[in-house]
Structure formats: C-alpha cells, structure tokens
C-alpha cells in the first residue's frame, strides 16, 4: 500500500550552505582580529574585551541556529489516496476559532473566517465549528446567527462551483463574474445576500444594537439580559446549528456543520489566561457536544484559503507507517496585507520557508498557535506509547436534548472549573506564558510525540499581519520575551484594554498568594 505522504529535501540547500560557510568565515575573521589586536591597558581595552564577549556570544547563537536551517524538508500529502482508501469513513473534526474584541476584530471579518471553515471540502456531518468570544459580545453572537442563515446559501454555492477561497469576503474581492448566465445569476444573488448581511452586521456593531426581530426569532439573546459586562458575566454556550438535527439543512437539503457560540465565564477576581484559557474551555465544551478526535484551531483573522486542508492533514495522521507518532500538523501563517516591499519582514519568510521546515527534520515544527491540527488526546496530556491505538471513530454521534447539552457545557466553562486541576499545566494549553502555543508544542514533544509541517503550494490559511512599525514591534517584543511572563502580560494587555486588565492581573496575583498561603495552613 502506498504511503499517504512523501518527504523530500527542500530545494536551495546547497546555496544556503555556501552562504552559511561565508558567514562562518566572516565570524572567524572578526574573532581573530579581536584576539590579535587587543589594545594596551587604558587605551580602551575593557571596551574591546566587551565587544569580543558580545561577538563570541553572537557566534555561538548563530552556530546553534543553524540546526534549524541546515536541512529543511518538504512534505507532500496524497489526498487522492486518502479518498480511495477511506472514502467517507473519515474522523470527525472540531474547529476552534478565537475572537476577543468586536472593536479591534470586526465581527464581519470573523464571520467570513467562520464561513470559510464551515465550507471545507469535508462531510458536513463530521464538521463542528466553535467560536470562542472573549469579548462576550451580543454583537458577535448576533453576527453568528446571521452567519448560520447565510451558510445555507454559501455552502451549496461553494460545492456547486467548487470555488476557492471559501471566505466570501476574499472570494468576492478577488473573483471575476462568471460567464455562464445561469452561474452569473446565482453568483450575483449570493453576492448580494452576503453584502446585505455584512452591512447589517457592521451597522449593528456601529450602533451597538441588535435588530429586534433577530432577538424574537432566535434563541440565546436572553443571556445578555443579566446586565453583565465583557469582563464580568456568566458562562454562555449556545448551539446555533445542531448538525445531528435532520432538520438543520441547507437550501439543497444537505446537513450543515454544527455551529456553537461560547463565551466562557469572566469575573474580575479570576485571571482568564487569554487565548490559552479560551482554548482550554473550548476543549471541554466540545467534549460534551462533539468530542471529535481531531481539533483544529485558527485565529479569527485567518480564513481558510484551501478547502482541502483537513484532508491533507489527515494524510499525516492516518498514514500507516508514521501516523501513530504524529501529535499535530502545523500549517504556516500567511498574510494578504503585506506592506510595500514587506519592509517590516511581516511575511515571516524565514520562519515559514526555512526554519519550520528545518525543524521538521528534527522531530517536527513548533506549534505556532493558529492553523494547526491536533489530536484531542495529546492536547489533553497523553504521552506517546507505540502500542496506543487512536479511536478515530470517537465522537458524540447521537442527538441529545439541546438545552441539557448546553447546561452541561456551561458548567465546564466557569472560572472555577480549573481550580485544583492540571488544566493549563499538564492538560490543555499551558498558562503563564505569552507564547503559550510554543511551550505547549514543546511539552507535547517532551511527551514523546512528533509533529509535521505542511506548507502546500496553495496557502492553507491567510490572515492579517501588523502593518505599522509600532504594531510590529509590539508583536515581536511579545514573541521574543515569551520567557518573561511578568513583563509580557503587560505588553499583551496593550492590545486588549490596557488598564483594567493590568488591574485584574495584580488582583490575580494577590488571590494566588492568598490561596497558596491557605494551602499551607490546611
């Protein structure tokens, strides 16, 4: 039986090695010069030695970074073989989208992302899309209801014309009108529907008000009658489309993917741990709704640009020879809003083309927080064991009363659920570090697993990169200071409502100290 994926040497290795040798010679020459020309005491010797120390340190750093650049590899997934071998007997997939603030992350864009994910070329009854809203905003919730209605037209349209990309915002921005008059009619109809929906969402966000008829005709809006704020509210879980409900179909009569809204509980006295906290709540909430063996997550600004990404990722997990070792499949972060000449290097070319591919030689790339497919089991702390057999059929397949499921799910998204548990440590994404994704991925490697980097010619995900120098510096500061939790929590807050969050942080630390003390007293 043929393999489901191939591994090849990436091109340009020889050229890179030649370049690296010249840099190495350069470093050696500089060091030689420093060592042989030390000035006399008093004539700047201390500064000279200081420079020597810095250059030695740089040289050492440069040498160790070569390990991630020396032998990059390329992966190729054979999705036709996957289809031939498995047909529709494929595992269920849970997709997590995180959003945090309807002002800086406009709901209409978040919804384009959600639609692109619902429209994957994958059996819809096996797809479950979850939106985590850390802003706890009724506007985002309203926008998701609009999306659920529009999906009934969008999904059949995508399937019928096999279009790419499947984010309506990106598709209508870049596609030409079709020539065939029948196709044109449908194209214009769907485009108008989409534009009207976007306008309704944008004007609701602007005015801060949800149309009354929406509130009357759809469930869930009463959650916002309690007078909570984005920082202080009860847990909210609403199943907007239940894929197991035979009545939930699109205009062609095909079932729709499950669609769930979650805003985990927020209280000023409890720390929320940013995206990692949201992801962990999603892992638990999804475990009572769909419990798929594969979990994929994206940032809300990263739409799916390639409708076959799920199938490609599965080529790695389901490969007979290697699949059982693979914990996660990471795709690169690509962006469509590069500044002219890419002056801040935001396209991340070195990371995407060289370093992640280079690490793939040594057991796999890092987990970079978005565009990644995980096994649910490894994300929940399982160590590698060569005799372990994944249950690809796992998942909740029978329909249950929706209210009961929602109530159960809410109890898993409270502030106190994680107290005295291993969540945020051994289970789920790790807390206490602004690059939670990277340390979570490393911890998975430490438990014996490998990972795979897949960078297909047609980008799998496309997002929005920082465009100004101050945004860029902020992001890089956060990334590079990942090890220094203290400082970086402060930096991260600069984007997410600076003052209040900082106050919460101080409060959190105080509560922690108190609970530590109590532990010793008991």
Which residues contribute to the site for ligand UPG (CB under 6 A)? Answer: 98-100, 105, 132, 134, 274-275, 278, 299-300, 333, 369-370, 434-435, 437, 475, 478-479, 495-496
| Dihedral (CA of 23, 25, 27, 33) sign | negative
The closest residue (CB) to ligand UPG is 369
Q: Output the DSSP codes for 15-46.
A: HHHHHHHHHHHHHHHHHHHHHH-PPPTTSSHH
Comparing CA positions, the residue from 125, 127, 126 lying closest to residue 116 is 127
Closest separation in Å from C-beta 167 to ligand UPG: 15
Number of H helices, E strands in the chain: 18, 13
Helical packing angle, 79-86 and 309-317, nearest 10°: 70
Q: Is 299 annotated among the ligand-binding residues?
A: yes
Q: Least distance to ligand UPG from the beta carbon of 267, Å? A: 14
The smaller minimum CB distance to ligand UPG, of residues 66 and 472, is found at 472
Selected catalytic residue, list 134, 242, 308, 319: 134
Active site residue 134: yes
Residue 115 in contact with residue 148, Cβ under 8 Å? no
**Residue 280 near residue 359, CB atoms below 8 Å:** no
Residues 449-483 as b or e (16 or more Cβ within 10 Å = b): bbbbbbbbeebbbbbebbeeeeebebbebbeebbe
Residue 196 is encoded by which pair of tokens?
A: 């009207």
Q: How far is the CB of 358 from ligand UPG (least distance, A)?
A: 20
Q: Which is nearer to ligand UPG, 244 or 264 (CB)?
A: 264
Annotated ligand binding at 105? The verdict is yes
In this structure, what token pair is assigned to residue 231?
């920082």
Q: Can 176 be counted among the known catalytic residues?
A: no
Q: Which is nearer to ligand UPG, 248 or 356 (CB)?
A: 356
Other Cβ atoms less than 10 A from the Cβ of 416: the count is 9
Query: 57: Cβ–Cβ under 8 A, 6 or more apart, which residues?
Result: none
Q: Compute the least distance from the CB of residue 474 to ligand UPG, in Å.
A: 8
The answer to whether residues 138 and 109 touch, using CB atoms and an 8 Å cutoff, is: no
User: Does residue 377 have a cis peptide bond before it, meaning omega lies within 30 degrees of 0?
Assistant: no
- In whole angstroms, how close is the CB of 501 to ligand UPG at the nearest point? 9
CB of 488 to ligand UPG, least distance (A): 9
Beta-carbon contacts of 227 under 8 Å, excluding residues fewer than 6 positions away, are none
User: What's the chain's length in residues?
Assistant: 522
Structure tokens belonging to residue 429: 């994404």
SS3 letters across 113-153: HHHHHHCCCCCHHHEEEEEEECCCCHHHHHHHHHHHHHHHH
68/140 with CB nearer ligand UPG? 140
- Name the residues annotated as catalytic: 134, 437
Which residue numbers belong to the known binding site?
105, 134, 275, 299
Which residue numbers belong to the known binding site for UDP-alpha-D-glucose?
105, 134
Which residue numbers belong to the known binding site for Mn(2+)?
275, 299
């Amino acid at each position: 039986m043929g393999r489901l994926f191939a591994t090849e040497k990436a091109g340009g290795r020889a050229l890179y090695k030649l370049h690296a040798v010249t840099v190495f010679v350069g470093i050696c020459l500089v060091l030689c010069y420093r060592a042989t020309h030390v000035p006399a005491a008093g004539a700047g010797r201390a500064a000279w030695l200081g420079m020597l120390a810095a250059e030695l340190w740089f040289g050492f750093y440069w040498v160790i970074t070569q390990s991630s650049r020396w032998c990059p590899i390329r992966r190729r997934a054979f999705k036709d073989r996957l289809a031939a071998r498995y047909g529709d007997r494929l595992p269920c997939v849970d997709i997590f989208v995180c959003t945090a603030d309807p002002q800086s992350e406009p709901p209409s864009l978040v919804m384009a992302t959600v639609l692109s994910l619902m429209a994957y070329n994958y059996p819809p009854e096996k797809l479950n899309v979850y939106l985590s809203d850390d802003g706890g905003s009724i506007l985002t919730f309203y926008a998701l209801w609009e999306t659920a209605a529009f999906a009934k037209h969008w999904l059949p349209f995508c399937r019928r014309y096999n279009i790419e990309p499947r984010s309506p915002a990106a598709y209508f921005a870049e596609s030409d009108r079709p020539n065939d008059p029948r196709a044109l009619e449908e194209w214009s109809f769907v485009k108008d529907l989409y534009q009207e929906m976007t306008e309704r969402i944008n004007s609701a966000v602007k005015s801060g008000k949800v149309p009354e008829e929406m509130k009357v005709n759809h469930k869930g809006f009463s959650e916002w009658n309690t007078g909570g704020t984005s920082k202080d509210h009860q847990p909210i879980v609403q199943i907007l489309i239940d894929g197991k409900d035979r009545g939930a179909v699109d205009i062609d009569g095909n079932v729709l993917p499950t669609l769930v809204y979650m805003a985990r509980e927020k209280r000023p006295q409890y720390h929320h741990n940013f995206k990692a906290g949201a992801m962990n709540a999603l892992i638990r909430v999804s475990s009572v709704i769909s419990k798929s063996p594969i979990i994929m997550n994206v940032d809300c600004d990263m739409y799916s640009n390639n409708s076959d990404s799920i199938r490609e990722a599965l080529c790695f997990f389901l490969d007979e020879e290697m699949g059982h070792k693979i914990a996660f499949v990471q795709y690169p972060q690509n962006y469509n809003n590069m500044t002219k000449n890419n002056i801040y290097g935001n396209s991340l070319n070195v990371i995407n083309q060289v370093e992640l591919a280079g690490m793939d030689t040594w057991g796999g790339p890092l987990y970079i927080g978005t565009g990644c497919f995980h096994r649910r089991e490894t994300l929940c702390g399982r160590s590698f064991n060569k005799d372990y057999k994944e249950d690809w059929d796992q998942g909740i397949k029978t329909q249950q009363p929706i209210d009961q499921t929602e109530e159960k799910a809410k109890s898993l998204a409270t502030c106190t659920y994680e107290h005295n548990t291993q969540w945020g440590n051994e289970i789920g994404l790790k807390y206490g570090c602004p690059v939670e994704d990277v340390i979570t991925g490393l911890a998975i490697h430490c438990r014996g697993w490998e990972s795979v980097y897949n960078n297909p010619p047609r980008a799998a995900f496309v997002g929005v990169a920082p465009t100004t120098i101050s945004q860029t510096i902020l992001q890089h500061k956060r990334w590079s200071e990942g090890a220094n939790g203290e400082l970086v929590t402060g930096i991260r807050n600069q984007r997410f409502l600076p003052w209040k969050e900082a106050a919460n942080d101080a409060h959190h630390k105080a509560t922690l100290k108190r609970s530590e003390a109590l532990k010793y007293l008991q």
